[in-house]
């Protein structure tokens, strides 16, 4: 492999090749609503089942245009206060949502 080539696992390469073969328009070409539908469909194809955790709690944070959905994950039922990881998905707060990233976040937790 040349120094400029990126390593991509074989299973990921197969998935990327499948997406390319499917063709279609990118999110930037179809708009936000269709982009959300595409993201959820893609997630259903590629996502592993969410891991069971002791705590999965839906919350909201008040934002300038209304409530922002949040989800709190913890592998332990009880713990002392300490640091946390905040996962803010890409997509400019337009395409993805807490459901699309649920499985990934259970793995991070």
42 domain residue, yes or no:
yes
Cβ atoms of 54 and 75 within 8 Å: the answer is yes
**How close are the terminal C-alpha atoms of the chain, in Å?**
34
5 found inside a domain: no
* Cβ–Cβ under 8 Å, residues 72 and 56: yes
Model pLDDT, residue 54: 96
- Say if 29 falls within a structural domain: yes
Is 50's pLDDT higher than 60? yes
Q: Decide if 4 is inside a domain.
A: no
Range of the domain at 96: 10-108
| Cβ-based neighbour number of residue 56 at 10 Å | 16
pLDDT digits (tens, 9 = 90+) for 64-81: 999 989 999 999 999 898
Q: Is residue 2 in a domain?
A: no
pLDDT range class, residue 88, cuts 50, 70, 90: confident
Stated length of the chain = 109
Residue 49 falls inside a structural domain: yes
Task: Establish if 3 belongs to a structural domain.
Answer: no
**What phi-psi label fits residue 91: left (phi over 0), alpha (psi between -120 and 50 degrees) or beta?**
left
The answer to whether 102 and 44 are in contact (CB under 8 A) is no
Q: How many domains, the chain? A: 1
């Amino acid at each position: 492999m040349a120094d400029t080539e990126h390593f991509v696992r074989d299973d990921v390469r197969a998935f990327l090749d499948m997406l390319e073969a499917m063709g279609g328009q990118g999110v930037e070409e179809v708009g936000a609503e269709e982009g959300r539908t595409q993201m959820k469909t893609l997630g259903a194809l590629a996502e592993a089942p969410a891991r069971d955790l002791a705590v999965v709690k839906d919350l909201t944070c008040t934002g300038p245009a209304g409530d922002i959905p949040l989800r709190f994950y913890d592998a332990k039922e009880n713990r002392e206060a300490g640091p946390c990881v905040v996962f803010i998905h890409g997509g400019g707060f337009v395409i993805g949502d807490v459901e699309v990233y649920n499985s990934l976040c259970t793995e991070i937790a």
